[in-house]
Amino acid sequence: MAAITRAGVAVLAVLVYYLVVVPVGLAVRLVRDPLRRRPDPAADSYWTYPDRAPRRRPPDSEPR
């Protein structure tokens, strides 16, 4: 009986995922850009330079 219940829960979870979560995600992507990836025509480049501050090692990584 427990195996049937476990299988039923798995099937229900898959159905909810494909019938609710996936369509909502696709609809959101069609309506707007969640990551705001629109190109900027005025930008020369999208490159960002890293910080030049020296990196410090965590105390646990010090050689003994």
Mean pLDDT across the stretch 57-63? 69
pLDDT at 37: 79
Q: What is the pTM of this model?
A: 0.50
Q: Is the dihedral of CA 16, 21, 22, 23 positive or negative?
A: positive
pLDDT at 63: 66
pLDDT at 64: 63
Q: Which two tokens stand for residue 29?
A: 């992507």
Q: Which two tokens stand for residue 42?
A: 């005025």
- Tens-digit pLDDT profile for residues 2-52: 888 999 999 999 999 999 999 999 999 999 887 877 888 898 888 888 877
Backbone φ and ψ of 51, nearest 5°: -65, 145
